[in-house]
Structure formats: structure tokens, C-alpha cells
Amino acid sequence: MKIVDLIRRDMVLPDLTADTKHGVIRELATHLAERHGKLKVEDLSRVLIDREELASTAIGEGVAVPHGKMRAVDGIVACLGRSRRGVDFGAMDGQPTHLFFVMVAPESSTGAHLKALARISRVFKDSHFRRRLLEASDGETMYEIMAQEDAKY
């Protein structure tokens, strides 16, 4: 499974403005819902926040992978956001989070959902990859960096 199989070019937000965990989730949920006809902002925000309240999805090193399952989607839907200043997302390493890869899968999905989470976690562990995303000038460049990373595997 490739990251570019999960995310479209228009699903990259290079300049998040929110400065809180719930604000970031709301901003990303709004972007996803506006571009996916079956999703409602309130429902998506609630699913992501409910999951976040179980345990932070911040995996450290400036990365979080907020995720959840919803009946409203037929396949995995994803969005990448970047906060240049960083947000306290409750990461175990105590560092601010800059990169947010949101993923929503169908309620019936288990295998594909877990494979996607594993792939995202593995790719985002690469410090060079993260640095390139943080330094990218715009969303299009961020998407291209993800596509280049995918080509390695």
C-alpha cells in the first residue's frame, strides 16, 4: 500500500492555522468533509476527537496520525496537514507536532486500516522525509515528496 493511494493532491494543507489539538482536528476535518461528499464536519470531528481521547495519536518526532472509522466512507480517505509553528498534541516525546496525517476508514475495514497505519508510521519515522515535508514551499511540493518516498518501496 502506497501513501499516494490514500491521499489526493487537494488533500494536503501546507499551512494549518489552528494552535490547539481540537483546532487542528477541526481544521483537517473541515477540509476533508468539504472535499468528500459523504462526510459531515461534525461527525468526522467527533470520531477523530473520540479516538484522540483514548490516547494521543501523536507518534513523536513531530508527527501525529489522527484516525477513525466511519460508515460514511467506502474506502480510506486521508489528508495531510502541516503546522509550521507546531501544536501540543500530547506526544510521548513532549515535542510539538508539525505533521498531521488524518485517515478515516470504513467501519468494516480492519486489515486495510491497520496496513495503512503501519505504512504511514514507517514512512514518517524517516527524519530526512519529515524535514523535506517541513521545508516544502507548498502543498503540491509536499505531495510530490510523498510520491518520491513511495517510489522507494
Q: Is CATH 3.40.930.10 the right assignment for the domain spanning 3-151?
A: yes
The size of the chain, in residues, is 153
> Residue 58 forms beta bridges with which residues?
64
Residue 98 pLDDT = 98
The low-confidence residues of the chain, meaning pLDDT below 70, are: 153
Phi-psi region for residue 61, left (φ > 0), alpha (ψ -120 to 50) or beta? left
What is the per-residue pLDDT across 68-91, written as a single tens digit (0 to 9) for each?
999 989 999 999 999 999 999 999
Contact at 8 Å (CB) between 93 and 126? no
Residue 50 pLDDT = 96
Catalytic residue list: 67
Contact at 8 Å (CB) between 9 and 138? no
Residue 48 pLDDT = 97
Domain boundaries, the chain: 3-151
Residue 109 pLDDT = 83
